[in-house]
Amino acid sequence: MGLPSSPKPRTPPNLEKKTLSGSLWHWLVIQFHNPKNHIMNRPRTFFPRPLSAPPTLLILALGALLAALPGAALAEAFSGNLLLVAKGEVEVYHNGRKIVLRDKADDQQHFRVKVPERSFNAGDVIVLRVHSPYVYRAISAAVNLAKKGGQIPIKKENWRFLGPNTDPRKITAATLQASQVVPASATPDGNGEAEREKLGFLTGSDWVKTADNLKSSYCIGFLITQEMLNARQAVK
């Protein structure tokens, strides 16, 4: 009869935990250093589909549609004609340079002109040197954009009175921005309204005049701004 086997000694709890923790740590170290398990060495199972470029014709069509909208923003440069009606003798200056023009008015006391098409930019300065010793000394202006791109009405708040004895060649954008003198509202005589209709003015451009009836020449002008370009009216 054999002797009863002695019970197998149990591993102390603390030692068992240390042994398991050590084995787990050893396994993790092996897995980490195995090149097959590195994330950069795993085969890709998903390739994102490259985005296709929009069709060229669609882009061109959208651009043409936006450009045709009356309220669409224009680039800074554009081509157009300055339309101008005034009662009196007028010289026109664009960024300090005089434009040689021929008066087309049917009435001798009026000045009517459509400036030949030229390039304009936001920030351009338009100055008139005017001699108008009349009671109905009204002035009105607009800018027609080329290719029926719209008409920019010149409002009363766009004009600035720059005073008599002023050299129009030296007036800059800073000069206009610094001036706070807005001319008065005006009412044209019958000939003035007829002259404006001949140029194809749309509703929106205001008639302005000097607050006082000046006997000498004076300068008046406006600055073309991006806000004015964006507010252009559609031409049929």
pLDDT tens digit sequence for 170-199? 999 999 999 999 999 999 988 999 999 999
CA pair distance 222, 173, nearest whole angstrom: 9
For residue 196, CA distances in Å to 78, 84, 112, 113, 207 come to 23, 8, 8, 10, 10
Model confidence pLDDT, tens digit, residues 13-67:
444 444 444 566 565 556 656 655 555 555 554 444 544 545 555 555 555 544 4
List CB contacts of 217: < 8 A, sequence separation 6 or more: 129, 130, 131, 164
Of 178, 197, 179, nearest to 188 by C-alpha is 197
**What backbone torsions phi and psi does residue 218 show, to the nearest 5 degrees?**
-145, 170
List residues bridging with 93 in a β-sheet. Answer: 98, 127
Which structure tokens are listed for 36?
A: 């097959």
Q: State the pLDDT at residue 28.
A: 59
